[in-house]
Amino acid sequence: MVIAGGGPTGLMLAGELALARVDVAIVERRANQDIEGARAGGLHSRTIEVLDQRGIAERFLSQGKVMQVAGFAMNYLDISDFPTRRNHGLALRQDRIEQILADWVEELGVPIYREREVTGFAQDEGGVDVALSDGRSVRAMFLVGCDGGRSVIRKKAGIDFPGWEASTSYLIAECEMSGEPAFGMRRDERGIHGLAKLEEGNRVRVVSSERQVRQGVAPTLEDLREALVGLYGTDYGVHNVTWLSRFTDATRQAASYRERRVLLAGDAAHVHSPAGGQGLNMGILDAVNLGWKLAQVVKGTSPESLLDTYQAERHPVAARVLRATMAQAALNRGDERTQALRETVAELLKMDEPRKRYGAMMSGLDIGYDLGTGHALLGRRMPDLEVVTESGPRWVFTLLHEGRGVLLNLGEPGGLDMAPWGDRVRRVEARYAGVWELPVLGAVAAPTAVLIRPDGHVAWVGEGTVEGLREALTTWFGPPSQG
């Protein structure tokens, strides 16, 4: 397996594959995980949960600041009353997030080929020949493009990237200023802009809307000065700019996440406004959905058709996020009509039901895959309950640390026959007498057993019978072993 791109998505995917004992390597253009300036600034609740599922959440929590980070169009959404142990977000810079993930995949023995890139590939029925910028070629069963919004992999695979052009552009910079900046966030007819004092010395972070939409062109110091003068009447003597970048609200999604043996994840599959802090988090969830499926196909335990469920499950999730980011970009404009709309939305989001619905959406806690009809748990994230096992009390997420499926039997001990899948799915006998509760939906009927996929989503629910269990095991973990 070759992963193009060693950002958060590529690193998480590599970790998932390594846990499944699949030979995987990352090709990364950077010499290390250093990032100029600020990119993403934190993790949402569901992302922290999936890191909990792999036993590494504390690595991030120990270096960040636990806080409420979910929001919609600058309306903060308090999720502290949600039924999850992680009813919060985490403020943590992307460079730290990447370094923690890089340390984890290094522990798992994943090689990272640095200071080189994938320049092309040719695929056939048996695999992919991947050409690298150093002149070498690598043979792999699959190639996954985690190489960002301008993905070379997506373009060379011929995958369409439809969507909406940018309606606004922003400059973001870290610099010093001779004058006394007017710190704080403001809004005008073009959008939001602001100046913030950084912890490091006298440095200032600038987020500045531009009078004209510009994209695909590297910003200059003169662009920054022009934008500041247009917004504040002065450039504050801006100098010593150590980072300057441009972002827009261009919104696009890959028409397909797979072209035979080439797949896409993260920004290579979807780009959008940074409103709501969704990009990095979506990429990590893409990786967790895809990794175990790829591993089973590579090992030959599941047919390639299992990979079709990656598109079926993750494409609608990203499409919804794209709509939400476009709505926020529109609400953040500053004309009087939009101001009236924004005040109306803010009033609605103060009400309990809208707050819960949008809080669950923006934190990733309401994601549910269409796995059929039946129990409310089906297709949704398994709650991290504290169950009593033969080894004592255990949180459910600790049962997923190995990246394997889990059949959690809460009924009559030994009543579920899954021996033909015993090498792929772990059976755990347990008891739980508490309430089963999901964000937004509230309390749900207690099941007698649940089949939990490696990504933490429920694939089958026992309601006093074993009907459908063998079918679910076969669908998600391959045909039963013979003998």
Give the residue extent of every domain in the chain. Answer: 2-163+252-363, 169-248, 386-477
The 8 Å CB, 24+ separation contacts for 132-135 are: 132/27
Please provide the average confidence, as pLDDT, over all residues in the chain. 94
Pairing between β-strand 204-209 and β-strand 191-197 as defined by DSSP bridges: antiparallel
Pick the closest to residue 226 from 246, 211, 239, 214 (CA basis). Answer: 211
pLDDT, position 334: 74
DSSP 7: S
Q: Which fold has domain 2-163+252-363?
A: FAD/NAD(P)-binding domain (3.50.50)
Q: Which amino acid is at 312?
A: A
H-type helices in 124-240, by residue range?
A: 152-156, 221-232
List pLDDT tens digits, range 312-365.
999 999 999 999 999 998 898 878 888 899 999 999 999 999 999 999 999 999
Written out in words, the top-level CATH class of the domain with range 169-248 is alpha beta
Report the pLDDT value the prediction gives residue 39, as an integer from 0 to 100. Answer: 61
Looking at the domain that runs over 386-477, which CATH code has it been given?
A: 3.40.30.120
102-113 per-position pLDDT tens digit: 999 999 999 999
Q: Is the pLDDT of residue 229 over 60?
A: yes
Please report which confidence band the pLDDT of residue 34 belongs to, taking 50, 70 and 90 as the band edges. confident
List, for residues 365-393, the tens digit of each pLDDT value: 999 999 998 999 999 999 999 999 999 99
Backbone dihedral angles phi then psi of residue 381, each to the nearest 5 degrees: -65, 140
Would you state the pLDDT for residue 40? 65
- Spell out a b/e string for 393-411, using b for 16 or more CB atoms within 10 Å of the CB, else e: ebebbebbeebbbbbbbbb
C-beta atoms surrounding 388 within 10 Å: 14
End-to-end CA distance of the chain: 30
**Mean pLDDT over residues 445-461, rounded?**
97
Asked if residue 241 lies in contact with residue 224, where contact means CB atoms within 8 angstroms, the answer is yes
pLDDT tens for residues 275-308?
888 999 999 999 999 999 999 999 999 999 999 9
Inter-residue contact 12 to 98 (CB < 8 Å): no
